[in-house]
Structure 1
């Protein structure tokens, strides 16, 4: 196997990392984030997974699985890479630069109508985990999505799930996507800065960004979709979001490896369901708390209700996602989507049985 360049500086140099990945597309060899050996003592299987923001709480199971040692237990060397938006993780996956992506399930529907066969193999969540925030300055002018007209609204990236959900909330409340301006501002410090400077009037983001904004009193919550109840109220049903999704052809040709990934992630989801936010926060990299461990734990606590305990797709979840996308996306609205091909429970079902 060829050796690939180390990608340790990926978080700081996303563009450089992406070009490095292109040079080794479909090559599973390389330096992995968790480099454990298999039980026989040989080198473990190498898998690259691109995450739409490793430090986002909605994607917490990815890094937590590594920190708990569950990838290593399965004989896997999983290299976790990071991009600021889920749509970029999607791009890395379909171009063959990585074998898996941790991002929103809704990308599987969007890709299907574009002729790409991608499926969720482990469903991390049953709600978006997203929050629509408005700046203090704009809070009087924006009391509901009906007021989005003429406003500048932050999203992580064009074509991202935050873009999808913002457009849906607008259309549902009588505002067309062409009547407001989506602004790609990422998450974390870049989102906070845009809100402070007035570059955006509000926007959709996740924890720990939400916790930071509220702690600094820079804005207010307009719509909270971090819980199943919040998802039901805003979107009309459960909205499966963060997941491990992969190209169907790769899944079918690498079932033993996919099963090991499912085993590891299901163990993590179960572990999360029996531990407190403080205990979860303590397992994560120290820099994720940005110097405020208490605030970080609070961010995790606020988002925990969105996660599944078994990795199984929530009942009626795919239908809710399809309904949301059809409301504003003309490509999906006029297309027939085969929801059965957008996810599988084959691997999580086996993982559950193996775990007893």
Structure 2
């Protein structure tokens, strides 16, 4: 399917509002201020995140804001890419070392004969929400009504694409009868909904709160809770992770361990602090659209999505495989070695920074 995008004018306007966030593709240094000197001689690694300003990817920027990369002894450069599928392509091309994205990409990659693995599980559940336009309330009551509709995803090959196709299939709708459009996240997603370029779409906080606040859409499916995730997907669906090629992991174990030390510490910090305290640490651009109070409130309500330990949920990989096997030709009917798609080795050996 050819990815359809919003007009460039909309994208440029969004970039002006949210520079350094979802529309920015510029690199963001993993060090700043007094921590820069400490990290100068540390091993360097570039991580591309599939939407830095999304709350589901919060640990990446929060680790930087807390100074945990420098404390762990690693110099991290964060790059933003609105779609996880494109971030994965950049990793495979050697443009970046690792990806902050959904774990399920590792299963899809193995199905394509490529080898990568998640080294820490940051989210126990997707944290994704399917919203539909307010004017369609009562007309769309479940994914069973999706035939012929335009569905917003971040981009083709992204995890929102995977999940949307699965939800259609599960509800007896052939994904080929829907029109999946890559509309990114944040302001571009909201614009697509307002302009009726999409009927429904999958996104995360803080975009969800902004859409509900201005009445643009209503929630069709909510995967910000364990119960909602199980109802929609049939089980625990580990989402945000740090994944790298197996070759990189095997060749740079010391660097990977330092990274995991920083992220385990960050996950512990999240559990010990309120949404308001977390929001205080984040760059203002991250909550510019919805407001700091609403951003903090959303964090408080969905804190349960974050994995407090970093260990892969036992039933998670099987759920992800079941989802991808339902529609993805790269995975369907193939023998997938799930233990090769993730490792808990580094999390179990972690010495969390604080």
Whether TM exceeds 0.5 here: the answer is yes
Matches within 5 A, 1:248-259: 248-259=246-257
TM-score between both structures, scaled by the size of structure 2 = 0.90
Which of 232, 235, 247 is residue 233 of structure 2 equivalent to?
235
The separation in 1 between residues aligned to 2:168 and 2:174, in whole angstroms, is 6
Count of residue pairs brought into register by the alignment: 333
Moved over 2 A (4+): 9-15, 35-39
Secondary structure of the corresponding residue to residue 213 of structure 1: helix
CA offset at residue 347 of structure 1?
0.2
CA pair 154-289 structure 1, distance change in 2 beyond 3 A: same
The separation in 2 between residues aligned to 1:74 and 1:38, in whole angstroms, is 14
- Using CA pairs below 8 Å that are at least 6 residues apart, which structure has the higher relative contact order? 2
Which of 150, 153, 163 is residue 152 of structure 1 equivalent to?
150
Structure-1 residue corresponding to 2:345: 346
CA offset at residue 303 of structure 1?
2.7
The separation in 2 between residues aligned to 1:13 and 1:328, in whole angstroms, is 30
Q: Which runs of 5+ in 2 are unaligned?
A: 1-18
Structure-2 residue corresponding to 1:337: 336
The separation in 1 between residues aligned to 2:37 and 2:332, in whole angstroms, is 46
Matches within 5 A, 1:1-356: 32-34=29-31, 36=35, 43-290=41-288, 292-351=291-350
CA offset at residue 192 of structure 1?
0.3
- 1:30-51 alpha-carbon deviations (Å, 9 max, x no partner): x833154687x86111111000
The separation in 1 between residues aligned to 2:282 and 2:20, in whole angstroms, is 18
The separation in 1 between residues aligned to 2:71 and 2:297, in whole angstroms, is 30
CA offset at residue 124 of structure 1?
0.2
CA pair 73-264 structure 1, distance change in 2 beyond 3 A: same
CA pair 14-116 structure 1, distance change in 2 beyond 3 A: farther
The answer on whether the counterparts of 2:125 and 2:237 sit within 8 Å (CA) in structure 1 is yes
Secondary structure of the corresponding residue to residue 180 of structure 2: strand
Secondary structure of the corresponding residue to residue 47 of structure 1: strand
CA offset at residue 307 of structure 1?
0.8
The separation in 1 between residues aligned to 2:147 and 2:313, in whole angstroms, is 33
CA offset at residue 56 of structure 1?
0.4
CA offset at residue 167 of structure 1?
0.6
CA offset at residue 14 of structure 1?
5.4
Structure-2 residue corresponding to 1:4: none
Secondary structure of the corresponding residue to residue 137 of structure 1: helix
CA offset at residue 213 of structure 1?
0.2
TM-score between both structures, scaled by the size of structure 1 = 0.89
